[in-house]
Structure 1
Amino acid sequence: MFFSLETPLMSVPGSNQLRASNLAHYPELIARLGGDSRHILDHHGISPDNIGEDDEFLDCKTFVDLLEYSATSLKQPLLGLQLARLHREHAYGLVAHLCRSAPSVEQALTSFVNFLPMMHSPESDLRVVSGKEVTELRWCEKTSYGDNLQANLQGLYFNLSLISSLVGDEFSPNYLAIPRLFSADDQTVLEAELKCPVRLSQGQSSIAFSSGLLQQKPIGANRAMHSLIKAYLESLKSQHSSNVLTRVSQYIQSSASMSELSLESCADSLGISTRGLQLKLKQDDVKFSQLLQTERFKRAKLMLKDAQIAIAEVADQLGYSEHTSFDRAFKRWAGTTPQRYRAIHAVKNKSAN
């Protein structure tokens, strides 16, 4: 099966990145509107050769700024929506196939929430909130990128079309919600375009629909296909998570000076934002401070076995500015003081000799 290959079939975006497929058909749209897409892309430092490629990634802030600039300069307040509508294949790729093949709409949305951040952009924060009568698919970005109406509109349409592909084109949400980033006139136009009430929310977007749809069987339900794709994505997610944990551990272990180690310096070394690194480690149920303390304890034991190294020097090399702080930390680790640990080890060595 394809998910058992040693090399993953797909790469995944890093912190503050999203797939370049979000810009598929951007040149086509800009040309229709009388603009020069190559000039605009160059202005934002984006290579025209990379846009639309599923295995290429864009900086999220650059993407947001590009869409806002395009909408303003071309006087197209709903440009993000227009761009989303040009996608002939769903922008969410393999995740969309996973959702469509799910046994129920509820399982489809669970898969969507679980795998979209890894496959499309780790800056996506999604959840499903179910009520007795109404269920909402909610999402927002983990990092603020300033005005991002156009990216919100594109995401809104992508998510709306995903649900429509599960239950049919006749799908009609109870309402849609997007952050307060545009005028009442634009809201009226958007409602006419999407044929649905649009609410202005604070900080997050959502699609509301009848909770009864959750138990409905998607049009393309296929348990075998769903299991196959899900297993591959879980394997990829596990490998990606483990790779980050391994790299962090290697960074800590290879550092000569423990005093200079920090979450920020590690994130910078790995090319990941501090927040992004925290989230990736959280997936492995571990904190940077725990990994750091484990390495400190290992080094402390090694140095304490060498009677030529003063305990004050051990504390200093491990990044403790005060001897007493090291004493307390070591007692938490070993259940005894550094002095006692050294003495016990010395006795063991003497007995062995």
Structure 2
Amino acid sequence: MASHPILGLIYIINSLRKQGVDTRALLQRHGLDLDHLALDARIDRSLELRLLCELAQELREPSIGLSIGNGFGFAGYGPFSLLLLTCDTAQEVIHCGLRYQQLTYLFSELSFQAGDKISALTLSTLPLAEPARRLMIDMQMAGIYKMIRDIQTNLNMDLYAIQVDLPYPKPAEAQLYEQFYGCPVQFDASLARFWMRNEHLQLRLPSGDRSANALYRRQCDQLLLGLQQEQASGNSADQVRAHLNLFTAGFPAAREVAAALGFSERTLRHQLRTQGTSFRRILEELRFARARQLLESSQLSVEAIAGQLGYAESAAFIHAFQRWSGCTPALYRRQQQQGPVPAAE
């Protein structure tokens, strides 16, 4: 199982409490009481993501992700934060951050795009439905920016972004984003990115310490190894099912699910094989269950249901449904309206 430190969720809930958001009912639905959790506990990433997607539906402030991301404490990253502070240069901070990003609270993958004069720190985006997609982008981007600001504050450095790109339409409260990031913000971008001048990345950290850095690197390596062993021993099939159940309009690809759960696609597919299943089989099981639900409880057309399930053409959906159930979607709907039918083989 892939997991996160529970401290990340505590930061999120505490930020929302400061904003006057009552999260008790939501947490209780998932059997959680943060006031009685051990601070060193861990939470399954798929459960945490499911909780945040439900939370996004209840929030009324569209830009609240900025406040949430700003609530993550730098010291809460443990040895990882000390590793960053003992690097020699800002560029080494970036590379260490990428190598050990599984030790953070991120759900998406960070990457670095080097350029001649400017470079970009890029955050991949999860294929979630709105408003969860924007909440996750804002929360993670603001959390990354908060970490950069904390390093700058601790070390009195001039490290900042010259532009921030966000991959969703310009909102009415766009000015809040420029005020928060302290630089121009480009909306409707293809990717979520921080643009930085290469000269800033060459800045040397006054706290650079090779011996201490080697010590914290070994500690981070041990933590990373523990996470990898945890992932290898978990039930990946259940995690994949839980993650796919988050989506109401189409499903993400195996590569996207693997990234969300903290695996490589190759590792995820291997683990599913060892558990006697595959990503395709799990996806078909969920599509069949979702199709039956929509045919029984909605008035959506077969074409609309096909679209919700991620089929480009209704003919492909009809063929798949016949293979699953032995009848067409239209016939299945009529039979359900008329009364019980024998179970499909």
On whether the aligned pair clears a TM of 0.5, the verdict is yes
The answer for the alignment partner of 1:47 in structure 2 is: 33
Residues in 2 aligned to 1:190 and 1:61: alpha-carbon distance in whole angstroms: 24
Residues in 2 aligned to 1:187 and 1:69: alpha-carbon distance in whole angstroms: 21
CA distance 1:172–1:237, shift in 2 (3 Å): closer
Instruction: Note if 1:145 corresponds to 2:150.
Output: no
From 213, 216, 220, the equivalent of 2:200 is 213
Give structure 2 stretches of 5+ with no counterpart. 244-253, 275-345
Residues in 1 aligned to 2:143 and 2:236: alpha-carbon distance in whole angstroms: 31
Cα RMSD between the aligned structures? 3.6
From 216, 221, 224, the equivalent of 1:234 is 221
The answer for the alignment partner of 1:173 in structure 2 is: 161
Q: What displacement does 1:156 show?
A: 1.3
Residues in 2 aligned to 1:178 and 1:54: alpha-carbon distance in whole angstroms: 33
SS in 1 for 2:56: helix
> 1:56 is matched by which residue type in structure 2?
R
SS in 1 for 2:199: helix
Q: What displacement does 1:155 show?
A: 1.4
The answer for the alignment partner of 1:341 in structure 2 is: none
**Structure showing greater Rg:** 1
The answer for the alignment partner of 2:115 in structure 1 is: 131
Residues in 1 aligned to 2:18 and 2:238: alpha-carbon distance in whole angstroms: 43
CA distance 1:278–1:155, shift in 2 (3 Å): closer
> 2:202 is matched by which residue type in structure 1?
Q
Residues in 1 aligned to 2:137 and 2:17: alpha-carbon distance in whole angstroms: 22
Q: What displacement does 1:226 show?
A: 1.2
CA distance 1:110–1:133, shift in 2 (3 Å): same
> 2:92 is matched by which residue type in structure 1?
Q
> 1:20 is matched by which residue type in structure 2?
I
Residues in 2 aligned to 1:150 and 1:214: alpha-carbon distance in whole angstroms: 29
> 1:125 is matched by which residue type in structure 2?
E
SS in 1 for 2:81: helix
CA distance 1:44–1:267, shift in 2 (3 Å): closer
The percent identity for this pair of structures is 13
> 1:288 is matched by which residue type in structure 2?
H
CA distance 1:183–1:43, shift in 2 (3 Å): farther
Q: What displacement does 1:209 show?
A: 0.9
Q: What displacement does 1:67 show?
A: 4.3
Residues in 2 aligned to 1:217 and 1:24: alpha-carbon distance in whole angstroms: 33
Q: How does 1:30-45 map to 2 (within 5 A)?
A: 30-43=16-29
CA distance 1:164–1:269, shift in 2 (3 Å): closer
Calculate the TM-score normalised by the size of structure 1: 0.59
Q: How does 1:181-260 map to 2 (within 5 A)?
A: 183-202=170-189, 204-238=191-225, 240-241=227-228
Q: What displacement does 1:26 show?
A: 4.4
> 2:212 is matched by which residue type in structure 1?
M
Contact 1:84 1:154 in 2 (8 A): yes
Residues in 2 aligned to 1:82 and 1:278: alpha-carbon distance in whole angstroms: 25
Instruction: Tell me which moved more, 235-244 or 184-193.
Output: 235-244
